[in-house]
A and B are shown apart, each in its own frame.
Chain A
Amino acid sequence: MFRYLVRRVLYLIPILFGITLITFLLFHVVGGNPAAQAAGKYGNEAQIRALEIEMGLDKPLHLQYVDYLRQIVTFDFGRSWSTHQEISTMIMNGMGPSLSLTLPAFLLIIIISVSIALLLAHYRGGMLDKAVLIICLAGMSVSSLVYILYMQYWLAYKAGIFPISGWDPSWTGRWEYVALPILIFIILSIGGNVLFYRTVFLDEVLQDYVRTARAKGLGTVRILFKHVLRNALIPIITLVVLEMPLLILGSLLLESFFDIPGLGGLIYSAIQNSDFPVVKAMTFIGAGLYMIFQLISDLLYAVVDPKVQLR
C-alpha cells in the first residue's frame, strides 16, 4: 500500500510540471502585457517599459518560468489586475461562499439520486423507468439559464419565498441566501446523476448473485441496500470523489445571478476583465485539487475492492 502511494505521488510530479508549463505558456501568450495593464489606460511606452523592468518581465522566458514556479511554491499568486487584492486572499475569501452552496447541494443530490436510481433499478423496464428516463433527459436538455431566470422570477420575486439575491457572511444568515441556488443546483444536476447511478445499479442488479440472493429468500430492500449498493460503491466513489474539486470552484452562473461572492463568480469576473493572474491561479488550483482527489479516489477504490491490484 505504502509503495503504491509513493509511486502515485511521484507520478504526479511530472503532471504538476506539465500543468505549470502549460498555464505559464498559455497565459504568457494569451495574457497580454501585465505592465501595460498596470500602466493604466493612458500609459505611454516609457512608463510601460519602466514597469516591465520593475515586474521582472524583461528577463528571458525561462527565468520568468522559474519565478513563476517559485511563486507557486510559496502560494503567492500575485495581485489581481482589476481589484489589486492579493489573489491568495481572494481565493480564501471565495471558498466559504462557494462551498456553502455546492456542498449541501452535492450531499442532497447524492441522497436523492441514489434513492431514485435504486428505485428504478428495481422497477426496471416498466413505465416508471421509461418515464423517469425521459424526464431526466428532458431536464438535462434545457439550458441552465432557463432554470435560473424562471425560478428566480417566480420563487423569489413573485412568491417571495426566497430572497432575490445577496449574501450574508454570518454562519446563520447565509443559508437563507443560498437556499434557492441550492435548489436550482439540485434540479440542474439530478437528471445526469440519476441516469448514471441507474446504469451502475442496473449493472449490479442483473448479476447472478442478486438472483441467487432472491432465490435464497432475502427481501428486496436488503438485497438492494446491503448487496447492490455496496458492490456499486466503486464506480460511485470514483464519480463522487472526482466531482469534489468542482464543488470548490462553485457554480459560475448561480453565483453571478444570485450575487454570491464565491470562486465561481471570481472566475467569471476574471474572464470578463481579462484578469489573467486570477485565471492562472484558479487554473492551477483547480488542477491541483483534481489531482489530489484523483489520488484519494484511487486509494478508496483500492480499499473498497480488495480485488483491485495496485499496479
Chain B
Amino acid sequence: MRSIFKVKNLTLFALLAATVFTTACTSKKATDGENTLTMSVSSEIKSLDSIALGDLYTNRAGSQIYEPLYTYHYLKRPLELIPALADGMPVMSKDGLTATIKIKKGLLFHDNEAFKDGKGREVVAEDFIYAWKRLVDPRNGSDGYWIFEGKIKGLNEWRDKVTKGEADYKTPIEGFTAIDSHTLQIKMIKPYYQLVYVLAMPYTAPTAIEAIDKYGKEYANNPVGTGPFMMKSWIRGNRLEMVRNPNWREELYPSEGTPEDQAKGFLADAGKKLPFVDKLVILEIVEDQTRWLNFMKGQIDFAGIPKDNYDTAIKDGKLSEEMTSKNIKLDIVEEPDLTYTAFNMEDPILGKNRYLRLAMGHAIDTETMIDKFYNRRAISAQSPIAPGIDGYDPNYVNPNKKFDLEKAKEYMKLAGYPDGKGLPEIEYSNTSSATSRQFVELFTQHMATIGIKIKVVTTSWPQFTEKLRKKKAQLWGIAWSGDYPDAQNFFQLLHSSSISPGPNAANYNSPEFDKLYDKALGMPPGPARTKVYLQMRDLAVKDAPWIFNTHRTTYTLDHEWVHNFKIPPISHDFVKYIRIDTAKRAEKKKDL
C-alpha cells in the first residue's frame, strides 16, 4: 500500500519512535565515575522529620542527616556505645537519677535558608531539649515518644498540659535542663539504665527551631540536621539525593575492630577523614524484581536478597557461582530481631484459654517456615530475648514451642476443644503483600492439622494498626527489631503500661511480670539483672501471650567496588564509613 498519506504516516511514526528509542539506547555512563553511593529501600520513606524515623527504611535515610548524642562503634562487636555529638559519656549522679552530658563545641547545623544568611548555626543544649519536646508532644503523633514516657521528671505532666493547651514549648520540663549552652542535664523519676541507648536513636537528634518555624508542616520534606549528609532533592516515593555536608565535624575512620576485621580489609582506611562519598542516592523501589535487576546490573551498590532470588545468590549457605563470578560479596548480620504471632489476651476465646494457645504453639512447624520463607536465614526463636542481648542463651529450648502434633492435640483436649470441635473460627489479621499472604497460608494449614479453622482478614497497614489499637484483632503476626541491645526493649512490649493503644498490642497484663520488669529496670547491667530477665522470660514462655517464631539474619550483597561494608546491627549511620572505588566501578559495571 504505497501512498502519500501512508508514507507520511510511517515517517511520523518512525520519527516519534526513533526519538524515544534512541535516547533509550544511550544509557548514561556519566555517573559511573562519580563518587556516589546508590542504595535502595524496599518501601517508601515516610518522612525526614527526626521524630518520624520509626520504621527501618525511614530510619536508614534519616540517620545520614541527623545525629544523636551517641552512636555505636562501627567495627567493634559486641556493640559499644561511643559519643557522637556528645563530648564524653554521661556523668551519672550517685543515685543514678541525674545524667549530665556535655555537648561538643563547634557543631554546626546544615546550611539552610532557615538560618540567617543561609549558614547553619552552632548547636546548643537547647536544641536537644526543643527536639525532645517535639518528640513527646502528642499533637505531633510521633511513634517514638515512648523512649522518654514515664521516665523523665515532669515530662508526662507537660504532655498532658500541652494537649489541653495549658502549656507550650516555652514551658520548662523539670527533667530536661540546659545548665549552660553546652551542657544538658536529664533528671529521671527512677534509674533508667537504657537512657544512653535511647540517646543513640535518631529520634533524639537536635532540631533547629528556625527550621520548624520556617517550614512548619513541610519540615518532613526539608530536614535540617547536623549529619555528614544533607538532603539535596527528594522525588517522593522515588529518589532521595543527599550530598556531603561541608561543615560536618571531624570524625575519623576507626582504627580498632574485631580480630577478623584486619583480614577482611576493614581497617585499611583507619584514621582517614569521613565521609568518603560525596553523594548518596537512595532509590525507593517497592517491586522486588526491579530492585534485584538493578543491583545485578550494578546500578545499586548493595542490596538485600529478596526471598525469591535467594537461590540464585546463595547455594548451600555460600555465594553462588553467579555471584562470585561477578565478585559480589556477602555480609551477614544477626539482628536483635524477633518475629512472633500474637494473641489478644483480652479476647474471650484466646485470652483466657492457655491450653488453646499452647496447642497452637505446638502445631507450628517453624523449620518449614524458616526453609520456605526465610531461606534458612533465621533461627527458631525460643524466647523474646534475641541473639546478642543479655540473657540470650543459644541452648535454651522453650518447652512450649516444640513442633509436636500429638502434644498439640492433647492440649486441644485440655482446652476443651478436642480436635477443634466446638471452637469457632479464629480471625487472623493480615496485611497485604504477596509474601505475608503465603506465610499466613502456611499458618492456616498448620492450624488445620489440629482442627482449628482460621479465617484470614486482609487489610492495609493503617487499618491493621487501627484494629490493634481498638483491641479488635484476635490473632496476628508481627516483628520487632531491637532498638538497642538490651532485652528491656523487648520486654516493654509485654508490660501492662504499654497496653493498646501502646506497643503491647497483645494486651498482656501480668502483675507478676510487671513487678519483675520494674525491678530489672532499676538494675544496672550485670548477672543479677540477667537473672531477673531470665525469670521474665520463663514467665512469658509459660503464659504464652505470643508464639515466638524466628530471629532473622540479614544477608546483604555488595559489589566489589564497595569498601568497608560492615553494616552493624541496629545503627544506620554507616554510609559515612563506606568508600567506593569509582574507577573500578566504571570499569566493572560494563561487564555486568
Contact = CB atoms under 8 A, between A and B. Distances in A.
Question: In the complex, which of the residues B21, B47, B463, B502 has the most CB atoms of chain A within 10 Å of its own CB atom?
Answer: B21
Interface string A240-275: 000000000000000011111100011001011111
A33 B462 CA distance: 11
Contact of B17 (A50, A51, A108): A108
A60 interface: no
A163 B28 CA distance: 9
A100 to B, nearest CB: 10
B313 to A, nearest CB: 15
A182 interface: yes
B293 A157 contact: yes
A46 B297 contact: no
B26 interface: yes
B174 to A, nearest CB: 22
Interface string A149-186: 10011001100111111110100110110111010000
Contacts of A160: 27, 297
Interface stretch (B76-84, B179-187, B283-291): B283-291
A47 B469 contact: no
Contacts of A164: 290, 293-294, 297, 299
Interface in B253-285: 283-285
B25 interface: yes
A36 B501 CA distance: 11
B261 to A, nearest CB: 34
B138 A39 contact: yes
Nearest to A82: B46
Contacts of B502: 42
Contacts of B138: 39, 43, 47, 50
A170 B477 CA distance: 44
Contact of B24 (A43, A180, A272): A180
Contacts of B12: 111
Interface in A6-39: 32-33, 36-39
A140 to B, nearest CB: 22
A274 B26 CA distance: 39
A175 B141 contact: no
Interface stretch (A67-75, A83-91, A284-292, A293-301): A83-91
B415 interface: no
Nearest to B296: A157
B368 interface: no
Contacts of B238: 167, 259-261, 265
Contact of A36 (B146, B221, B469): B469
Contacts of B286: 256
A167 B239 CA distance: 8
A257 B296 CA distance: 16
A178 B237 CA distance: 17
B396 interface: no
B3 interface: yes
Contact of A104 (B16, B143, B235, B285): B16
B290 A258 contact: yes
Interface in A47-106: 47, 50-51, 54, 79, 81-86, 90, 93, 104
Interface in A86-144: 86, 90, 93, 104, 107-108, 111-112, 115, 119, 122
Given A115-B9, A156-B293, A165 B143 contact: no
Q: Give the dominant DSSP class at A's interface.
A: helix
Given A108-B16, A161-B25, A221 B6 contact: yes
A225 interface: yes
Nearest to A79: B217
B142 A40 contact: yes
A40 B503 CA distance: 12
A157 B297 contact: yes
B143 A175 contact: no
A221 B296 CA distance: 51
A265 B235 CA distance: 12
Contacts of A261: 235-239
B46 A221 contact: no
Interface in B7-54: 9, 12-13, 16-17, 19-21, 23-28, 44, 46-47, 54
Contact of B466 (A32, A54, A115, A273): A32
A152 B294 CA distance: 11
Nearest to A115: B9
Given A175-B20, A273-B461, A90 B236 contact: yes
A160 B44 CA distance: 27
Contacts of A175: 19-20, 23-24
A169 B293 contact: no
A274 B461 CA distance: 8
Contacts of A41: 54, 143, 465, 469, 501, 503
B211 interface: no
B528 interface: no
Contacts of B294: 164-166
A207 interface: no
A161 B290 contact: no
A212 interface: no
Nearest to B23: A175
Interface of A: 32-33, 36-47, 50-51, 54, 79, 81-86, 90, 93, 104, 107-108, 111-112, 115, 119, 122, 149, 152-153, 156-157, 160-167, 169, 172-173, 175-176, 178-180, 182, 220-221, 225, 256-261, 265-266, 269, 271-275
25 contacts: A32-B462, A32-B466, A40-B143, A41-B54, A42-B143, A42-B145, A43-B138, A50-B164, A85-B220, A108-B16, A111-B9, A111-B13, A161-B25, A163-B27, A164-B290, A165-B293, A167-B235, A175-B23, A176-B28, A260-B238, A266-B237, A271-B460, A273-B460, A274-B460, A274-B462
Give the 3 A-B residue pairs with the shortest CB-CB distance, closest first: A40-B141, A179-B24, A221-B3
